[in-house]
Structure 1
Amino acid sequence: MSPDASSSPTTAATTANQGSPSNIVLWVHPRSTSTMFECMLLARSDFQVHHEPMGEAWYYGPERASKRFDEEQRNASGNAETTYAGSWREVAKPHPTLRTFSKDMAQYLMDLSKPKGTVASSFGNVPSTANNPTLVPTSELLQPHINHTFLIRHPQKAVPSYARLCYPGAPTGFDYFDAAEMGYKELRLLFDFIREETGRTPLLIESEELLSQPVKVVRGWCEHVGIEFTEGMLEWDDAPETRTHFEKWSGFHDDAAASKGVGRHSPAQDANGAGDAAAKKKPEPKPLSPELQQAVDGCMDDYEYLRSFAHHDW
């Protein structure tokens, strides 16, 4: 059995006190409200925050798994040489004085066309284990100072939210919707691998519970990763970092970058009637197109499985 990747609060706090701070990762799928979670850490002065550091390798690099972008787009991105090993090094490297937080998509670690145990070539001859679904060697992924946590959101909300950002001419540059990019399957694979390999169940949070009980949920998450909770984490009106931190994925995080706190909407959303008063009157969800409903249905088994492990005893 590999060393546990999910340190106890005491271990994480002790590690930080010894000058080798624990690195924390929040693994997610697209449109899981994870960027809002990331804003909480950006508002703190004791954290180095990485925004989806594995994405460039997955979309553009020489070991890429995604086929969304052609060669011309890859080269224009400036990330055509970004490797898995180089990107993972940033996630795993302890900061000399700060804690490190990375928010990333589980799917960015994987190429489902390849068998488990496959390692990205940039890691050289580092071996993995036959049950590892990621391209990162098990010894690298499950280093003891890395604490893996998870966040999920119901597909009925996440799928249409993602689809709204993927259309011809979209400012995101994603000119079509691909249901295979929703990432629930990969999130489940990663969750199960960590759980089975470490012998511990990683902390998993539901977005809906985060939004409805932010103090309890965020306090519990902080206790789990060994950091002090302050209610100031839940608001970031005056944090300029939240306005510029997400620029590398243009168009995907505009609302989060303009938001004001957990569960607090951006001015644009408020102007459109999505403010606090409107939020109390939950409107009936609009029927989805057959394509999107099929995408939702395709995510449900993995979502319900992950949801069965969600932490509720805050």
Structure 2
Amino acid sequence: MADATRTTNRVFLWTVGRSLSTVFTKCLSFVDGIQIINEPFHMALLCGPERLRDDGSRIQAIFDAMVARASAVSQGNGYDVNISTYDWAKKMLEADYPGKQIVFCKDFAFALRENYDWIPQGYRHTFLIRDPRKMFLSFKKLWAKLLQDNSFQYQELPPYINPPKHAFGELYELYQYVHDHGLEKDPIIIDADDLQKYPGSILLQYCKAVGIPYSENLLEWEAGTGVVDSWKLADVLEQANRLEEGGFYDAAFSSTHFLPLGDPPSRDEMDDDLLPLIDKSMVFYDKMYAARIKPE
């Protein structure tokens, strides 16, 4: 392993889906001397040689169709997803990045599949959470759009999208693991609503805690996907999210700043299929929320 793990400031952001993690990553992309690595374990889970699949399902069919369509518009900037094993992802995260003072990776805790041997060495471990009511509602709207089916039920999603503990349980268990095993003495947690309402305060505290230079210039940026050219990510993900329609990151790439949103919907306004997921996830969310960085 390169000595760069000791000399380069390395920060990992673990999160759940639809949590503003991509717009947060886009924001940090404008820090001088930073190398962004985007979802390497997630790509191993979805597309690499060790991927999970649900052949025959309409979810798998639409996912495969999106990947195929994305491949047709390849710009060749990403790495070949066919080499994206978990071991390869770990080695890539621990590799040397000449000229870079900071390496920042964001990924989903559930993508580790509870195999913590894949956690890369030399990283600070931080966490981004979002109110499960907002997260699950956003995810359901996205997949209903992709499936063109407003009657779609969330439980139809396979385990590589809707993991056994619905992403929040996996995130909380990883949070406990890095603390209990000495990988992170005081894990930093930020909440998406706080980030949207108080971006200057939350971003300043986060950057100070993990050793990333902060500037108020990070609070505004240009819309578009050009920043992705500097990211290290799989070709499939890079291509799929440049599509005119259906990209998972459409809102993030069109953003120019953090935009406050309203309160989460009431329980009576939520679809019945989401209520059990929300109830199970709120237990983990509340524990992490209590330990989060608070606005100053």
Equivalence for 1:101: 104
Equivalence for 1:302: 284
1:191-202 to structure 2, matched below 5 A, reads: 191-198=175-182, 200-202=185-187
- Unpaired runs of 5+ residues, structure 2, are 72-79, 232-236, 242-246
Equivalence for 2:140: 163
C-alpha distance in structure 2 between counterparts of 1:53 and 1:248, whole Å: 15
Conservation of the 8 A alpha-carbon contact between 1:243 and 1:258:
no
Helix, strand or coil at the partner of 2:294: coil
Q: 1:298 to 1:19 in 2, by over 3 A?
A: closer
Match of 2:11 among 24, 40, 55: 24
Match of 1:234 among 192, 197, 219: 219
- Letter of the structure 2 residue corresponding to residue 214 of structure 1: P
Q: 1:284 to 1:302 in 2, by over 3 A?
A: closer
Structure-1-length-normalised TM-score = 0.70
Alpha-carbon displacement from aligned partner over 1:186-211 (angstroms, at most 9, x marks no partner): 10111000010016131011111111
Quote the offset at 1:169 in angstroms: 4.3
Q: 1:311 to 1:282 in 2, by over 3 A?
A: closer
Q: 1:157 to 1:297 in 2, by over 3 A?
A: same
C-alpha distance in structure 2 between counterparts of 1:236 and 1:160, whole Å: 27
Conservation of the 8 A alpha-carbon contact between 1:243 and 1:257:
no
Equivalence for 2:248: 252
Higher helix residue share? 2
- Letter of the structure 1 residue corresponding to residue 168 of structure 2: Y
Equivalence for 1:141: 119
Equivalence for 1:125: none
Match of 1:218 among 203, 206, 211: 203
Equivalence for 2:272: 290
Quote the offset at 1:176 in angstroms: 6.8
Aligned length in residues: 254
C-alpha distance in structure 1 between counterparts of 2:168 and 2:13, whole Å: 14
Equivalence for 2:131: 154
- Higher mean C-alpha deviation, range 19-28 or range 253-262: 19-28
C-alpha distance in structure 2 between counterparts of 1:312 and 1:169, whole Å: 36
Equivalence for 1:124: none
Alpha-carbon displacement from aligned partner over 1:217-273 (angstroms, at most 9, x marks no partner): 101111111121101111112675347666445311101100001227xxxxxxxxx
C-alpha distance in structure 1 between counterparts of 2:131 and 2:265, whole Å: 15
Equivalence for 2:92: 90
C-alpha distance in structure 1 between counterparts of 2:263 and 2:110, whole Å: 31
- Letter of the structure 2 residue corresponding to residue 103 of structure 1: K
Conservation of the 8 A alpha-carbon contact between 2:223 and 2:254:
no
- Letter of the structure 2 residue corresponding to residue 306 of structure 1: M
C-alpha distance in structure 2 between counterparts of 1:108 and 1:310, whole Å: 22
Helix, strand or coil at the partner of 1:252: coil
Alpha-carbon displacement from aligned partner over 1:155-200 (angstroms, at most 9, x marks no partner): 01010101111137449xxx87438344111101110000100161
C-alpha distance in structure 2 between counterparts of 1:211 and 1:232, whole Å: 16
Quote the offset at 1:62 in angstroms: 3.0
C-alpha distance in structure 2 between counterparts of 1:49 and 1:298, whole Å: 32
Quote the offset at 1:41 in angstroms: 1.5
Quote the offset at 1:66 in angstroms: 5.5
Quote the offset at 1:60 in angstroms: 2.4
Helix, strand or coil at the partner of 2:50: coil
C-alpha distance in structure 1 between counterparts of 2:264 and 2:91, whole Å: 44
Match of 2:192 among 203, 207, 221: 207
1:266-277 to structure 2, matched below 5 A, reads: none
- Letter of the structure 2 residue corresponding to residue 96 of structure 1: P
C-alpha distance in structure 1 between counterparts of 2:191 and 2:273, whole Å: 25
Alpha-carbon displacement from aligned partner over 1:34-93 (angstroms, at most 9, x marks no partner): 1111011122332111121211211123323464647x9499687355210111222232
Conservation of the 8 A alpha-carbon contact between 1:58 and 1:108:
yes
Conservation of the 8 A alpha-carbon contact between 2:129 and 2:189:
yes
Q: 1:142 to 1:52 in 2, by over 3 A?
A: closer
For CA contacts below 8 A with separation 6 or more, give which structure has more relative contact order. Answer: 2
Q: 1:142 to 1:232 in 2, by over 3 A?
A: same
Quote the offset at 1:306 in angstroms: 1.7
C-alpha distance in structure 2 between counterparts of 1:146 and 1:200, whole Å: 12
Conservation of the 8 A alpha-carbon contact between 2:221 and 2:256:
yes
Equivalence for 1:126: none
